[in-house]
Amino acid sequence: MNHRRDFLKKAGLTTAGAVAGTAVAAPYVKAQSSPIRWRMQTYAGPALAEHVIKPSIDAFNQAANGEMVIELFNADQLVPHGELFRALQNGTIDAAQSDDDSIAAPVDVSVFGAYFPFASRYSLDVPVLWNWYGLKEIWEEAYAEIEGVKWLGAGAWDPCNFATTRPIRSLDDLNGLRMYMFPTGGRFMSRFGVVPVALPYEDVEVAIQTGELDGVAWSGITEVYTVGWAEVTDYYLTNPISGAWAGSYFANADRWNELPEHLKTLFNLCMDSSHYYRQHWYWWGEAHYRTTGGKLELTSIPQSEWATVEDAALEFWDEVAERSERTARVVQILKDYRATMQAAGPPYRYE
């Protein structure tokens, strides 16, 4: 918190100095004499950030060769996560890695960020949907209507499963569970009695220990072990409510537009390298920790019963489609993709 207060004070002084200096200095020449500096905040805590973003930012800073430096901050370190979008708009931070849903991005497609229920089965579904089924162009269209923020691209993370302090073996066991969840996933699962709870990321582990939470439905098993939640939970439900988290990179629009083209290209390349790293890290981890984790007992809801949840998701899709013409387009793309994967059969879909 002290770090955050100091940062905000310094940010105010820097902004004032920049305004005062615009009358006497040429900004581009100034930029050539010292590195361009960005502050970027991720949704992830320190242990998770080591995998989901830090390697790519370290690579960017090295490859930029002194022309630009990105200082990376973890979840809630500079601004509360729920204020991340506004902080981007007003220039308090220069870039962010998160999902549209949890930062309440003021676009109609934000509902599809993070874990839109059963929109994907595998992590590869996310880049295919964005790059080959038209979601990239829809996201660009949506964010073009919002001043101050540039949407840079989306990628896949891990699936969404339940890690809990008590076992889940039937739908009835979900009733009353107080879970740390993303907004849309939480609203959907509340239909089955789940109670979504919003907390700062760093408070989750303690909240499970004190009984304020019964667990998390925020990630797959890789993160449950990586960030320490496996130490405070006992069970892991193998039925996912989504096959991959859809997250994005964002930048303050003015700061992005100020960059020379080669640094924009370099940032995009490093962003793609992060997407690639997560593809294989999570794919490795989800199997590794299920088989060798040793701490969590795996439980499952029979598929015949779990089908009730999957069917309810399709009803949820139709409700979201009614929100706008654009959300209707996205839902239709998801339906078309689902039909294509089912018709293609193994290895795309096995049932």
What pLDDT score was predicted for residue 6? 60
The values of phi and psi at residue 114, to 5°, are: 60, -120
Structural contact between residues 129 and 333, judged by C-beta atoms closer than 8 angstroms: yes
This prediction's pTM: 0.89
What pLDDT score was predicted for residue 11? 54
Residue-wise DSSP of 54-72: HHHHHHHHHHTTTSEEEEE
Rg (CA), the chain: 21
Q: Please, what is the end-to-end C-alpha distance for the chain in angstroms?
A: 49
| C-alpha to C-alpha distance for 57 and 191, rounded to whole angstroms | 40
Strands 235-237 and 297-299: parallel
What pLDDT score was predicted for residue 43? 96
Q: Which residues pair with 178 in a beta bridge?
A: 195
Task: Supply 329's token pair.
Answer: 């387009």
What pLDDT score was predicted for residue 262? 98
What pLDDT score was predicted for residue 27? 46
What pLDDT score was predicted for residue 178? 98
List the domains of the chain with CATH numbers: 37-158+245-285 (3.40.190.170), 161-243+295-344 (3.40.190.170)
What's the angle, vertex CA 224, arms to CA 3 and CA 79, rounded to 5?
Answer: 20
CA-to-CA dists, residue 190 to 104, 117, 166, 186, 257, angstroms: 19, 12, 18, 6, 41
In eight-state DSSP terms, residue 192 is G
Evaluated on CA atoms 20, 24, 27, 32, the torsion sign reads: negative
Nearest to 203 by CA among 193, 212, 195: 212
- What sections of the chain are H helices per DSSP? 2-21, 27-33, 46-52, 54-63, 84-89, 125-132, 135-143, 183-189, 204-209, 221-226, 253-258, 261-292, 303-321, 325-344
Tens of pLDDT along the chain (351 residues)?
555 556 555 555 444 444 444 444 444 444 456 999 999 999 999 999 999 999 999 999 999 999 999 999 999 999 999 999 999 999 999 999 999 999 999 999 999 999 999 999 999 999 999 999 999 999 999 999 999 999 999 999 999 999 999 999 999 999 999 999 999 999 999 999 999 999 999 999 999 999 999 999 999 999 999 999 999 999 999 999 999 999 999 999 999 999 999 999 999 999 999 999 999 999 999 999 999 999 999 999 999 999 999 999 999 999 999 999 999 999 999 999 999 999 999 999 987
Structural contact between residues 215 and 232, judged by C-beta atoms closer than 8 angstroms: no
Task: Supply 40's token pair.
Answer: 């970027």
Residue-wise DSSP of 128-177: HHHHHSSHHHHHHHHHTTSTTEEEEEEEE---BEEEESS---SGGGGTT-
What pLDDT score was predicted for residue 112? 98
What pLDDT score was predicted for residue 161? 98
Q: H or E element: which one contains 299?
A: strand 297-299
